[in-house]
Amino acid sequence: MQMKILVVGGAGYIGSHMVKRLALGGHEVVVLDDLSTGFASQVKWGRLVVGSTADTERLASLFGENRFDGVMHFAGSSLVGESVAAPARYYRNNVAHTLNLLDAMVSHGVRHFVFSSTAAVYGEPVAVPIGEAHPRSPINPYGASKWMVERVLQDYAAAYRLNSVSLRYFNASGADPDGELGECHDPETHLIPLVLQSASGRGGPVTVFGRDYPTPDGTCIRDYVHVTDLCEAHALALEAMASGRCKGAMTFNLGNEEGASVHAVIDVAQELVRQDGYEIAVREGSRRPGDPAVLVADSSLARQTLGWQPQFGRLSQIVAHAWHWEKALARQDG
């Protein structure tokens, strides 16, 4: 079934990969992005409309001019540390502006919404692996803002029959396997790109944030999930809503159900970059506030309900695709 999809935040890391997936799947794509953190150059398919979810008039005209079959929303602010320092920005952008988008959908009869949520809604885990029923007790404004929207979506489903799928990402990582897209954050805070920037020369030594966690090697364990696999889950979620298989407000975890420590990520990356004659410089640091020791998903619900099957579950593949992209960026910088 061909659909016309609005991808909000389609110039960002995950959104840009989503646009590619939808366009190659034969769908018509319109991207709405204010380019505050995304890049016009990353919108390689579809039509880019530069604008913000803050602008209700812009939203009204966009929805008036286009008959969208569904909306995917990637335009959230997503840095935990920044959210603690500037909560107003997080609640405004992630909650208030998302309400603008939802209200435009409701008033124009657009029924299907895929929402980028996060494992940060769980806070400090009380049990691992983490299933969707794990208590939601976010410990920072970023996680709280995403959880608020999930709650809103439950009420909008009941009152306005807005169908939604909220996807709680664990650690989004990797890059387009064809090398056409990848991660571009400024500033970069995520482990894998920082490790690879250290090798390519675009960054300094990578700091290991704490070696005294209660894990086998003392470093934090995360569930790294490939961006292309995340996008596949979004496509499946949209299809499930469009075909009537998913109704109401549903929520799924997206992870590989496998943990890798910071140390393990660096080891995998070191082996890879050495094959190209590069070396990662590593230094020890203290803990970063707010980092849980272990975050690993139980994503059996997404597998069962959506038929999601990650294709790039191996950490070595994730790092290899990210390294291919990092080398391209380093060549550009030149």
Catalytic residue among 142, 169, 213, 278: 142
Question: Which of 129, 140, 72, 78 has its CA nearest to residue 254?
Answer: 129
Report the residue from 194, 246, 306, 319 that binds ligand UFG according to the rule CB under 6 A.
194
319 binds ligand UFG (CB under 6 A): no
Distance (Å, rounded) from C-alpha 182 to C-alpha 38? 12
The reply to whether 121 sits near ligand UFG by the rule CB under 6 A is no
> With respect to ligand UFG, which residue has the nearer C-beta, 67 or 287?
287
Q: Check residue 120 for interaction with ligand UFG (CB under 6 A).
A: yes
Those residues with Cβ within 8 angstroms of residue 185's Cβ, 6 or more apart along the chain or in another chain = 13, 37, 193
Give whichever of 80 and 241 is closer to ligand UFG, judged by the CB atom: 80
Q: CB of residue 305 vs ligand UFG: minimum separation in angstroms?
A: 22
**Phi/psi of residue 166, each to 5°?**
-100, 125
- The SS3 assignment for 138 reads coil
Q: Which of 119, 196, 268, 322 binds ligand UFG (CB under 6 A)?
A: 119
Q: Which of 7, 31, 43, 80 binds ligand UFG (CB under 6 A)?
A: 80
285, β-bridge pairs = 209
The smaller minimum CB distance to ligand UFG, of residues 110 and 322, is found at: 322
Is the bond into 177 cis (omega within 30 degrees of 0)? no
42, 78, 145, 197: residue in contact with ligand UFG (rule CB under 6 A): 78
Residue 191 is a binding residue for ligand UFG (CB under 6 A): yes
93 binds ligand UFG (CB under 6 A): no
Q: How far is 128 from 151, CA to CA, in rounded Å? A: 23
**Exactly one of 39, 91, 160, 209 binds ligand UFG (CB under 6 A); which one?**
209
Is the previous residue joined to 138 through a cis bond, with omega within 30 degrees of 0? no
Q: Which residue in 54, 85, 161, 189 binds ligand UFG (CB under 6 A)?
A: 189
Three-class SS state of 236: helix
Residue 36 gets which letter from DSSP?
A: S
Question: Binder to ligand UFG among 288, 307, 309, 316 (CB under 6 A)?
Answer: 288
Question: From its phi and psi, is residue 260 left (phi > 0), alpha (psi between -120 and 50) or beta?
Answer: beta
Q: Which residue is nearest to ligand UFG (CB)?
A: 220
Q: Where are the alpha helices (DSSP H) in the chain?
A: 13-24, 56-65, 80-85, 87-90, 97-107, 141-160, 191-200, 227-242, 262-275, 300-301, 315-333
Q: Between residue 221 and residue 240, which ones bind ligand UFG under the rule CB under 6 A?
A: 222
User: Does 169 participate in catalysis according to the annotation?
Assistant: no
Residue 9 or 70 with smaller CB distance to ligand UFG: 9
190 touches ligand UFG (CB under 6 A): yes
**Which residues bind to ligand UFG, rule: CB under 6 A?**
78, 80, 118-120, 142, 171, 189-191, 194, 206-209, 220, 222, 262, 288, 291, 295
Catalytically annotated residues:
142
